Amino acid sequence: MFKQNNINELKEYLQKPKKIVVTSHKNPDGDALGSSLAWTKILTKLGHSVDYISPNGMPEYYSWLPLNKQMIIYEKSKDYAKNLVYSADIVFSLDYNALDRMDEFGEVVKASKAVKIMIDHHLFPEDYPTLTYSDTSKSSTGEMIFEMILAMGEEDKIDADIATLLYTAILTDTGSFAFKCTTQRVHEIVGVLVSKGADPDTVQNQVYNCFTESRLRFFGFCIMNKMHIIPNTNVAYIAVSEKELREFDIQDGETEGLANYPLKIANVQACAFFREKDKQIRISFRSKGDFDVNILAREHFNGGGHKNASGGMMRDSLENTVKKFENLFLQNG
């Protein structure tokens, strides 16, 4: 929980009505979307003028989320989004710890003279914000937002929409409550959210059981044809080209979850998913137990995140990036 002396400075900033912009990272996932939309509605209920801006759009399978139509997409409305950020009194950074997680939109936020406030649970936050609420022990930014609402004495403002959004944030970032970050407190929180109107069955089905046919066939193709286990190691990877993504008509966000599949193999302890797009290689790392993929991502692939879930990026060919990854383990094998 947030201690009262840690929340007082935020309450000072929010004492009078303000123009506020809430932002999240590029390719927003369930935690980014759920926590940002929930925080936007809470701040609106507190009397502020609030806009939520994402660098790009959400995956189609999140289009059922309450309040999703309020999201402004920077890629589609750059001038409008810039004006909102430049005229804002406060800009919140939710679910990201570095401005480069927003690509071009990060430079817009950096240039704003607004008070900047970060709420995030990833390792090694940048020092650009005026206020930083960083807690790597939390399962999700959604969990942090719930605790902030309580610390501010505003639990009564959690309605069914906000409960659903925060439940989605926590569900997705805990791997349906399967990851180590799922503490007793997480279960207590989701119990409260259910009592406030979140429907676990609906959220679970909307997030995980609403694949398009092409997306499911793509997952099958990747597991059958693109999954490799590095010889004499417990490390696997899947690598797909931009051409293969186009062949299956895979949209931004539709590869989410694929990185976890190799971990279903009993002896695989770590895996990577490489995807080629716009002359960049985006990488998702996942692991079990004590295998620290955050170190791997930070030291070799311009990324970072959590011990068991991190991301990276390379400006190189898919072939060279995969070869670099393989060599790290072949040399140590």
SS3 labels along 20-40: EEEECCCCCCHHHHHHHHHHH
| 116-133 pLDDT, tens digit each | 999 999 988 999 999 999
* Domain 4-208 class in CATH: alpha beta
Q: Is 228 helix (H, G, I), strand (E, B) or coil?
A: strand
Residues 6+ apart with CB under 8 A from 274: 237, 238, 239, 240, 281, 282, 283, 318, 321, 322, 325
* 126's tokens: 């940048």
pLDDT band at 204; cut points 50, 70, 90:
very high
| Residue 236: its H or E element | strand 235-240
Rounded to whole angstroms, the Cα distance separating 262 from 268 reads 7
Q: Report the pLDDT value the prediction gives residue 3, as an integer from 0 to 100.
A: 58
Rounded to whole angstroms, the Cα distance separating 185 from 52 reads 28
* 80's tokens: 């409008």
- Say if CB 248 and CB 217 are below 8 A apart: yes
Rounded to whole angstroms, the Cα distance separating 94 from 24 reads 5
- Say if CB 180 and CB 70 are below 8 A apart: no
Average pLDDT over residues 59-63: 91
Q: Report the pLDDT value the prediction gives residue 180, as an integer from 0 to 100.
A: 86
pLDDT band at 278; cut points 50, 70, 90:
confident
The identity of residue 62, as a single letter, is Y
CA quadruple 1, 26, 128, 153: dihedral, nearest 10: -30
Q: Report the pLDDT value the prediction gives residue 291, as an integer from 0 to 100.
A: 95
C-alpha 100 chain-centroid distance? 14
Task: Give the orientation angle of helix 141-151 with respect to helix 184-195, to 10 degrees.
Answer: 70
The identity of residue 151, as a single letter, is A
Rounded to whole angstroms, the Cα distance separating 247 from 279 reads 17
Query: How do 71-73 and 227-229 pair as beta strands?
Result: unpaired
Rounded to whole angstroms, the Cα distance separating 149 from 279 reads 41
pLDDT band at 1; cut points 50, 70, 90:
low
Domain boundaries, the chain: 4-208, 213-330
pLDDT band at 145; cut points 50, 70, 90:
very high
- Say if CB 102 and CB 95 are below 8 A apart: no
Average pLDDT over residues 320-326: 97
- Among 233-237, 241-245, 327-331, the minimum mean pLDDT is found in 327-331
- Say if CB 271 and CB 309 are below 8 A apart: no
Residues 6+ apart with CB under 8 A from 226: 238, 239, 240, 244
CA quadruple 245, 247, 251, 253: dihedral, nearest 10: -40
Q: Is 144 helix (H, G, I), strand (E, B) or coil?
A: helix
* Domain 213-330 class in CATH: alpha beta
* 37 closest CA partner among 207, 189, 159, 194: 159
**For 241, which DSSP code?**
-
Q: Report the pLDDT value the prediction gives residue 253, as an integer from 0 to 100.
A: 85
Q: Report the pLDDT value the prediction gives residue 178, as an integer from 0 to 100.
A: 87
Q: What's the burial of 276, exposed, middle or buried (CB within 10 Å: 0-12/13-18/19+)?
A: buried
Rounded to whole angstroms, the Cα distance separating 90 from 109 reads 10
